[in-house]
């Protein structure tokens, strides 16, 4: 992992402040598909840029990358397919944080696995359904919004970070977890990548841990657009309101650790360390896998599943 100090972060900072509309780069060699995507998304709060293959999409990113918020990508295209395009942009620091939603044919788990290895965590099955498209795009958009808000905050906290060796923090709500993630990310060698992982682990500790919202229930709540209402209701429920998440950060030599412990009953964490091809089209459920694959060198859970230690090894 590479470290970029305050000056380096600001030099490489792209499109952190939210624009009035979310800009989607749609990449597909089928003009009818591009027209359909434009029609669906432009009726919402989206601006749509288009490209006809991966090479064309790279050119669009180079010229308009500061305005692109997320990418909707076809897998099979001439000149440069979706997998090669993903590998290119995930290797580029300027664009690696952009979420990619890949369109794929049903019943092809091997293609999905290849996409996951290339850094894709959001999927749409063909043929496209309007409701599913809007739901997945909205989910990815929310991740971008939170990432940029957190990034703006942590860029303001560069002073004195190197002097900290350990600290303990406690939080209770989703919003407190978001603020704490933005505070802690700069203490790691690569704040950009670590921020996403910390945020996801904190969210999991609150909603699935302390508030006992199951995977299946969250699926229903997200579809009904009542997830936040249920979270707030449970935060006031006597069964859950006194539960907290305890976070311990430590830095020793070239190893950075973050231990996160909730007061819930635990869960089968083994099922979520990797992206399950059966769940890739769901509008949630990939956070722990993203943290494991993108943000940390190790994720170590206790047997119960209510404590996780995230580790980053930093070679000078």
In a domain, 150, yes or no: no
pLDDT at position 14: 40
pLDDT at position 59: 94
Domain that holds residue 191: 157-313
Sign of the torsion angle spanned by Cα atoms 269, 227, 249, 93: positive
> What CA–CA distance (Å, rounded) separates 233 from 49?
40
Asked if residue 56 and residue 23 are part of one domain, the reply reads yes
Asked if residue 199 and residue 134 are part of one domain, the reply reads no
Asked if residue 123 and residue 227 are part of one domain, the reply reads no
> Above pLDDT 70, what percent of the chain?
86
Q: Which residue has the higher pLDDT, 33 or 18?
A: 33
The DSSP bridge pattern shows strands 255-261 and 307-313 to be: antiparallel
Q: Which residue has the higher pLDDT, 126 or 306?
A: 306
In a domain, 1, yes or no: no
Asked if residue 277 and residue 140 are part of one domain, the reply reads no
> Above pLDDT 90, what percent of the chain?
46
Q: What are the residues whose beta carbons fall under 8 Å from the beta carbon of 95, sequence distance 6 or more?
A: 61, 65, 89
Q: Which residue has the higher pLDDT, 89 or 147?
A: 89
Last residue of a domain, one of 145, 178, 194: 145
Report, as an integer, the average pLDDT of 191-211. 93
Is pLDDT above 90 for 287? no
pLDDT digits (tens, 9 = 90+) for 83-99: 999 999 988 888 888 88
Asked if residue 132 and residue 67 are part of one domain, the reply reads yes
pLDDT at position 26: 95
Is pLDDT above 90 for 11? no
In a domain, 167, yes or no: yes
Last residue of a domain, one of 121, 145, 169: 145
Asked if residue 243 and residue 136 are part of one domain, the reply reads no
Q: Which residue has the higher pLDDT, 310 or 280?
A: 310
CATH number, domain of 84, equals: 3.40.50.2300
In a domain, 222, yes or no: yes
Contacts by 109-113, CB closer than 8 A, 24 or more apart: 109/277, 111/75, 112/277, 112/280, 113/277
Is pLDDT above 70 for 16? no
Report, as an integer, the average pLDDT of 221-250. 95
How would you class 162 by CB atoms within 10 Å of its CB: exposed for 0-12, middle for 13-18, buried for 19 or more?
A: exposed
Asked if residue 169 and residue 127 are part of one domain, the reply reads no
Cross-strand pairs, 271? none
Is pLDDT above 60 for 3? no
Asked if residue 19 and residue 80 are part of one domain, the reply reads yes
CA 264 distance to own-chain centroid: 23
In a domain, 161, yes or no: yes
pLDDT at position 170: 98
pLDDT digits (tens, 9 = 90+) for 38-88: 999 987 779 999 999 999 999 999 998 788 989 999 988 998 989 999 999
**Whole-model pTM?**
0.58
Q: How many domains is the chain built from? A: 2
Per-chain mean pLDDT for the chain: 84
Report, as an integer, the average pLDDT of 14-21. 50
Asked if residue 161 and residue 140 are part of one domain, the reply reads no
Last residue of a domain, one of 98, 125, 145: 145
How would you class 74 by CB atoms within 10 Å of its CB: exposed for 0-12, middle for 13-18, buried for 19 or more?
A: buried
Asked if residue 174 and residue 133 are part of one domain, the reply reads no
In a domain, 60, yes or no: yes
pLDDT at position 66: 80
How would you class 19 by CB atoms within 10 Å of its CB: exposed for 0-12, middle for 13-18, buried for 19 or more?
A: exposed
Is pLDDT above 50 for 178? yes
Report, as an integer, the average pLDDT of 11-33. 70
Q: Which residue has the higher pLDDT, 123 or 72?
A: 72
In a domain, 151, yes or no: no
The DSSP bridge pattern shows strands 307-313 and 298-301 to be: antiparallel
pLDDT at position 158: 61
In a domain, 88, yes or no: yes
Q: Given pLDDT bands bounded at 50, 70 and 90, which one contains residue 10?
A: very low
> What CA–CA distance (Å, rounded) separates 150 from 178?
7
Cβ-contact 225, 171 below 8 angstroms: no
Asked if residue 134 and residue 80 are part of one domain, the reply reads yes
> What CA–CA distance (Å, rounded) separates 33 from 27?
9
CATH number, domain of 226, equals: 3.30.565.10
Asked if residue 24 and residue 164 are part of one domain, the reply reads no
Contacts by 213-218, CB closer than 8 A, 24 or more apart: 215/285, 218/284, 218/285
């Amino acid at each position: 992992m590479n470290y970029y100090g305050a000056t380096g972060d600001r030099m490489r900072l792209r499109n952190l402040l939210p624009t009035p509309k979310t800009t989607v780069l749609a990449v597909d060699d089928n003009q009818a598909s591009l027209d359909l995507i434009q029609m669906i998304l432009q009726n919402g709060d989206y601006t749509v840029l288009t490209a006809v293959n991966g090479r064309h999409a790279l050119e669009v990113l180079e010229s308009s990358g500061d305005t692109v918020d997320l990418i909707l990508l076809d897998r099979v295209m001439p000149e440069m397919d979706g997998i090669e395009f993903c590998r290119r942009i995930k290797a580029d620091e300027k664009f690696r944080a952009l979420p990619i939603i890949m369109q794929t044919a049903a019943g092809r788990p091997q293609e999905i696995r290849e996409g996951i290895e290339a850094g894709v965590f959001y999927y749409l099955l063909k043929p496209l359904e309007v409701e599913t498209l809007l739901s997945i795009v909205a989910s990815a958009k929310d991740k971008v919004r939170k990432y940029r808000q957190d990034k703006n905050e942590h860029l303001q906290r560069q002073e004195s970070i190197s002097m900290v060796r350990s600290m303990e923090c406690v939080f209770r709500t989703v919003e407190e977890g978001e603020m704490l993630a933005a505070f802690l990310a700069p203490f790691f060698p690569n704040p950009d990548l670590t921020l996403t992982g910390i945020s996801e682990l904190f969210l999991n500790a609150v909603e699935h841990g302390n508030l006992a919202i199951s995977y299946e229930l969250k699926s229903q709540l997200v579809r009904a657009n009542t997830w936040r209402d249920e979270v707030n209701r449970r935060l006031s429920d006597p069964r859950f309101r006194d539960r907290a998440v305890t976070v311990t950060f430590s830095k020793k030599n070239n190893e950075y650790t973050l231990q996160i412990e909730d007061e819930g009953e635990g869960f089968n964490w083994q099922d979520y360390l990797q992206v399950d091809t059966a769940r890739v089209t769901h509008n949630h459920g990939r956070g722990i896998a993203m943290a494991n694959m993108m943000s940390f060198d190790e994720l170590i859970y206790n047997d119960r599943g209510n404590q996780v230690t995230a580790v980053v090894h930093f070679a000078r």
